[in-house]
Amino acid sequence: MSPPRSFQEFWPYYLGEHRNPVNRALHYVGTFCALSLLGYIITNRYWGLMLVGLVIGYGPAWVGHFFVENNKPASFKYPLWSFMADIKMLALKLGGQMDGEMTRLYGSGHPAPDAPLRRGGPTS
C-alpha cells in the first residue's frame, strides 16, 4: 500500500488494522476514557494529568494491537490521523454504524484478519 495522502485514504487502512472486535472494544474504552479525562482536565485546569490521559487512551489500544490483533498501532506512523480515526470509530460505534462500516469496507462486521478491502463502495 502506498502511504495515504488524506484522511479519506487513511480510513480504510486504519479499519484494516482494527478488524478484530476485541481490539476495537479496547479502543472504544481507551478513547472514551481519555476524552472524558480531557474534558475534566480542561474544565478543572489540571494540566498535569495530560500524561495520564495519553496512558489511559493509548494503553488499552496498544494492548489490543500487540496482543489481540498482532500488529503495530497506526499511531506510530500517522499520529494525527489515528487520533481522528479513533474518535470517528467511537462515534460510529455509539451511533450503531460501526459494523456497517466494516461491512462496507471488508464485507463483514467482523472480517477475517486476511479479508481484502472491497473496491467500489461509497466513500466516507
Does the pLDDT value for residue 124 go beyond 50?
no
Backbone phi, psi, residue 104, to 5° = -60, -40
Which segments of the chain are extended strands (E)? none
What is the spatial distance between Cα 32 and Cα 36, in angstroms, rounded to a whole number?
6
Domain residue ranges of the chain, discontinuous segments joined by +: 21-106
- Mean local confidence (pLDDT), 79-86: 96
CA nearest neighbour of 6 among 66, 80, 57: 80
pLDDT tens for residues 21-70? Answer: 999 999 999 999 999 999 999 999 999 999 999 999 999 999 999 999 99
For residue 81, the Cα-to-chain-centroid distance in whole angstroms is: 10
DSSP 114: T
